[in-house]
């Protein structure tokens, strides 16, 4: 049996999405920027996809832009907004538990002379709102925060964050990394006072290679990639029409089926929590305020990398952190920021579910974990 429990890293493409994409590789493959019939046809489908995404998110199609991935979207927003403000304001605020796409970009900006402030989080991974309020000042031009954490699943109070930021300094802009939201929790931009948001299609059963960027009308943005002037002159490069069409369909399906999928994933996670706790596991994820599909768990006497490798031998795939940093032997920056005991952090693995996972897979996983623990205890290999 093959059990894929690493859905926060990427997901399989929904069959309905793939079916809709194929025609744009085989028949409707025109460049959407070409002036002839096939180009016009491709462009029409791309714009319909833009309208679908906008409708799901509760915004205008003119506020939706397509990129190659969320990392590009994040770099585009953070770097060019900083360029816009560099002669007037120099302070950016984020948290220490952000994805590397944000944290590494912040490091780059700090080397360019910008002042980056980090709002601490509590032991559950929730941003400390009172500390955020203290940090926002007249020099703050941007706050960037993730809606939900990719490692432990903690859901952030984005509405409260934006309210506090705008109240303290109405000119401060807010970017939300919403990559882990679609298909897991309700998320709409319609009532949020955010100025920018980033999404990635392959996180909600869409294709890899498509990022979705929300840029509120009237806020500053500049091109990061220059060339032919696609995406209304702001993101050059021929658009990935099959991927864009697939991304829009995947987002539609994810939102339409959210309630059923979330209940299913929550049920599987509850079974995992019960079974793992019976085996002596320490649950890191704050279950009551987290994504229904995400579970960070630790066996303190066993390295997470050891468990990951042994499980992989049984065809069970989990991670020890974000896929972007999973080959790094250092402790998770997320768990470190949460103040998780080092021994627990070293033993952490991340299980992330999707709508396709089954109870049979959970049973198989628990059985194999028990076998692994018995083997390690018998051989004494669980001692550091």
> Residue 129's CB: how many other CB atoms inside 10 A?
15
3-state class (DSSP) for residue 104: helix
Alpha helices in the chain (DSSP H): 15-26, 37-57, 70-85, 100-111, 129-135, 158-168, 241-256, 258-278, 304-313, 333-337, 342-346, 359-379
How do residues 56-115 score in pLDDT, each as one tens digit?
A: 999 999 999 999 999 999 999 999 999 999 999 999 999 999 999 999 999 999 999 999
Query: Do 182 and 78 have their domain in common?
Result: yes
Query: Do 170 and 294 have their domain in common?
Result: no
Query: Do 163 and 308 have their domain in common?
Result: no
Angle at 181 between CA 177 and CA 182, to 5 degrees: 120
Of 18, 324, 331, 337, the active-site residue reads: 324
Of the two residues 115 and 326, the one the predictor is more confident about is 115
Mean pLDDT of the chain: 95
Q: Is residue 384 part of a domain?
A: no
Q: What is the DSSP letter of 14?
A: P
Query: Do 167 and 100 have their domain in common?
Result: yes
Rounded to whole angstroms, how far apart are CA atoms 14 and 5? 16
Query: Where is the domain boundary, 224, 255, 286?
Result: 255
- The burial class, CB within 10 Å (0-12 / 13-18 / 19+), for 340 is buried
Q: What is the pLDDT of residue 377?
A: 79
**Contacting residues for 345 by C-beta, under 8 A, at least 6 apart:** 298, 331, 332, 335, 336
Query: Do 100 and 220 have their domain in common?
Result: yes
**Contact call for residues 145 and 198 (beta carbons, < 8 A):** no
Q: Is residue 383 part of a domain?
A: no
For the question of residue 354 being annotated catalytic, the response is no
In which band, very low, low, confident or very high, does the pLDDT at 376 lie, cut at 50, 70 and 90?
A: confident
Q: How far is CA 44 from the centre of its chain?
A: 29
Query: Do 121 and 163 have their domain in common?
Result: yes
Residue 384 has pLDDT above 60, yes or no: no
Query: Do 31 and 99 have their domain in common?
Result: yes
Residues making up the annotated binding site are 70-71, 99, 180, 200, 202, 238
Query: Where is the domain boundary, 239, 255, 271?
Result: 255
User: Which pTM value belongs to this model?
Assistant: 0.94
Query: Do 29 and 60 have their domain in common?
Result: yes
Query: Do 122 and 251 have their domain in common?
Result: yes
Average pLDDT over residues 174-192: 97
Query: Do 325 and 239 have their domain in common?
Result: no
> Residue 278's CB: how many other CB atoms inside 10 A?
10
Residue 19's beta-bridge partner residues? none
Query: Do 278 and 242 have their domain in common?
Result: no
* 67-71, 208-212, 354-358, 377-381: segment of lowest average pLDDT: 377-381
**Contact call for residues 13 and 207 (beta carbons, < 8 A):** yes
Question: How many structural domains does the chain have?
Answer: 2
Query: Do 54 and 118 have their domain in common?
Result: yes
Rounded to whole angstroms, how far apart are CA atoms 283 and 288? 12
Query: Where is the domain boundary, 255, 273, 303?
Result: 255
Q: Which CATH number covers residue 102?
A: 3.40.640.10
Q: What is the pLDDT of residue 329?
A: 54
Residues making up the annotated binding site for pyridoxal 5'-phosphate are 70-71, 99, 180, 200, 202, 238
User: Structural domain of residue 370, as residue ranges?
Assistant: 3-11+258-377
């Amino acid at each position: 049996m093959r059990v894929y429990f690493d859905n926060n890293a990427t997901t399989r493409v929904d069959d309905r999405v793939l079916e809709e994409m194929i025609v744009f590789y085989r028949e409707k493959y025109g460049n959407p920027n070409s002036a002839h019939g096939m180009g016009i046809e491709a462009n029409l489908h791309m714009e319909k996809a833009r309208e679908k995404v906008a409708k799901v998110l509760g915004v205008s199609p003119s506020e939706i832009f397509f990129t190659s991935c969320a990392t590009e979207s994040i770099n585009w927003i953070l770097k060019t907004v900083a360029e816009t403000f560099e002669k007037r304001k120099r302070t950016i605020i984020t948290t220490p538990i952000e994805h590397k796409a944000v944290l590494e970009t912040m490091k780059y900006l700090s080397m360019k002379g910008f002042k980056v402030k980090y709002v601490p989080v509590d032991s559950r991974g929730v941003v400390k709102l009172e500390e955020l309020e203290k940090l926002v000042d007249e020099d703050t031009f941007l706050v960037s925060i993730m809606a939900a954490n990719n490692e432990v699943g903690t859901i952030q109070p984005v509405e409260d964050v934006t309210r506090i930021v705008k109240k303290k300094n109405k000119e401060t802009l807010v970017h939300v990394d919403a990559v882990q939201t679609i298909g897991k929790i309700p998320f709409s931009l319609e009532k949020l006072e955010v100025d920018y948001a980033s999404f990635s299609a392959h996180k909600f059963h869409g294709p890899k290679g498509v990022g979705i960027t929300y840029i509120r009308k009237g806020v500053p943005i500049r091109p990061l990639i220059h060339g032919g002037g696609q995406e209304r002159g702001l993101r050059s490069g021929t658009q990935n029409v099959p991927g864009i069409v697939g991304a829009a369909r995947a987002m539609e399906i994810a939102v339409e089926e959210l309630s059923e999928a979330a209940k299913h994933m929550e049920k599987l996670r509850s079974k995992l929590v019960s079974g793992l706790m019976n085996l002596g596991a320490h649950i890191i994820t704050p279950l009551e305020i987290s994504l229904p599909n995400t579970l960070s768990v630790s066996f303190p006497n066993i390295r997470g990398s050891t468990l990951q490798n042994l499980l992989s031998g049984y065809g069970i795939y989990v991670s020890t952190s974000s896929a972007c940093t999973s080959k790094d032997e250092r402790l998770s920056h997320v768990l470190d920021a949460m103040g998780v005991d080092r021994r627990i952090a070293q033993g952490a693995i991340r299980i992330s579910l999707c709508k396709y996972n089954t109870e049979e897979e959970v049973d198989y996983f628990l059985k194999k974990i028990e076998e692994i623990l018995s083997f390690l205890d018998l051989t004494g290999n669980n001692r550091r």
